[in-house]
């Protein structure tokens, strides 16, 4: 496959735009495709079987658009479906997401780490395995955050209801001594400015978008598939209402773009 072929990125909704931005920053010559599965958001409340079906369909769509690699820009989807996607597409570079338990365990001074994530991520075997591997010497306190994904989907990054929800989820973690917070959903990095107002300055916020971009660069480099460029304009699809994604792109992506409808 040509090194100038695009990279396909998808999420349950707009959260993966935080990862897309990290990829654009690290690999500016790569052409990018993005699917927001907003007609089925949030994944965190769906069954693993349902999520796997959606991931199969979206992966097939992106490969049909000529993608040379896939990025599953969703912690819940990674936990449910990345193993199956790799089995179905051997040899294809596929990068997933997982909560940053390892760097958080290394960063904490208090020995107590908080995790903000969806219910689906926190219940997954993949998350349990992460704790088993990397959290032996620290106390990890998990906090499911229903409603936050929907706030980001609406672009309501600083709205009163978003602040109230986030405060309710963060305060119990701070009260138990967490000095490091893992943002375990790709939607949550967009709430960093609001989080910084709600937590002490010394509390570290950790997400994995930059690590995903580094891993993608490594895999493409190993296969001599890094694009020389120039990159084509990023193309967007949504399984929900395209106009809704188009409205939040200037806020979350930094520029306006056309959005096509992804059929089910």
Q: Is 185 a catalytic site residue? A: yes
Distance CA(173)–CA(194), nearest Å, equals 16
- To the question of whether residue 108 is assigned a binding role by annotation, the answer is no
Could you tell me how many residues make up the chain? 264
Backbone angles phi, psi at 172, to 5 degrees: -60, -35
Residue linked to tokens 């100038």: 4
Q: Which residues contact 42 (CB under 8 A, 6 or more apart)?
A: 12, 13, 76, 118, 149, 150
Angle, helix 75-88 to helix 125-134, in steps of 10 degrees:
100
* Active-site pick, 55, 151, 178, 185: 185
Distance CA(32)–CA(117), nearest Å, equals 26
Mapping DSSP to helix (H, G, I), strand (E, B) and coil, where does residue 253 land?
coil
Distance CA(110)–CA(122), nearest Å, equals 22
- To the question of whether residue 75 is assigned a binding role by annotation, the answer is yes
Distance CA(23)–CA(70), nearest Å, equals 12
- To the question of whether residue 44 is assigned a binding role by annotation, the answer is yes
Q: Is 151 a catalytic site residue? A: no
Q: Cα torsion at 86, 7, 185, 90 (round to 10°)?
A: 0
- To the question of whether residue 76 is assigned a binding role by annotation, the answer is yes
Distance between terminal CA atoms of the chain? 27
Alpha-carbon Rg for the chain in angstroms: 18
CA nearest to 96, candidates 127, 72, 119, 76: 72
* Active-site pick, 55, 74, 145, 178: 74
Q: How far lies 95's CA from each of 7, 14, 47, 87, in Å?
A: 11, 18, 22, 13
Residue linked to tokens 């916020």: 205
- To the question of whether residue 18 is assigned a binding role by annotation, the answer is no
Binding-site members are 11-12, 43-44, 75-76, 186-187
Catalytic sites, residue numbers: 74, 185
Which segments are annotated as binding site for substrate?
11-12, 43-44, 75-76, 186-187
């Amino acid at each position: 496959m040509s090194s100038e072929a695009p990279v396909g990125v998808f999420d349950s909704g707009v959260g993966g735009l935080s990862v897309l931005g990290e990829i654009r920053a690290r690999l500016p010559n790569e052409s990018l495709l993005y699917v927001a599965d907003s007609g089925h958001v949030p994944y965190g409340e769906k069954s693993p079987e349902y999520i796997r079906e959606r991931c199969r369909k979206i992966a097939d769509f992106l490969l049909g658009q000529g993608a040379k690699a896939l990025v599953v820009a969703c912690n819940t989807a990674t936990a449910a479906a990345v193993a199956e996607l790799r089995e179905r597409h051997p040899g294809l570079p596929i990068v997933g997401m997982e909560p940053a338990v390892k760097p958080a365990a290394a960063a904490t001074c208090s020995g107590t780490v908080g995790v903000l994530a969806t219910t689906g991520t926190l219940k997954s075997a993949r998350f349990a395995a992460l704790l088993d591997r990397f959290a032996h010497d620290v106390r990890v306190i998990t906090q499911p955050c229903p409603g936050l994904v929907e706030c980001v989907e609406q672009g309501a990054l600083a709205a009163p209801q978003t602040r109230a929800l986030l405060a309710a989820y963060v305060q119990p973690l701070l009260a138990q001594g967490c000095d490091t917070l893992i943002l375990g959903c790709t939607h949550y990095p967009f709430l960093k400015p609001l989080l910084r107002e709600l937590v002490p300055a010394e509390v570290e916020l950790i997400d994995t978008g930059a690590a995903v971009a580094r891993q993608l660069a490594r895999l493409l480099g190993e296969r001599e598939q890094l694009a020389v460029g120039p990159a084509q304009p990023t193309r967007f699809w949504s399984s929900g209402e395209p106009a809704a994604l188009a409205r939040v792109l200037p806020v979350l992506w930094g520029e306006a773009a056309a959005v096509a409808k992804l059929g089910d």
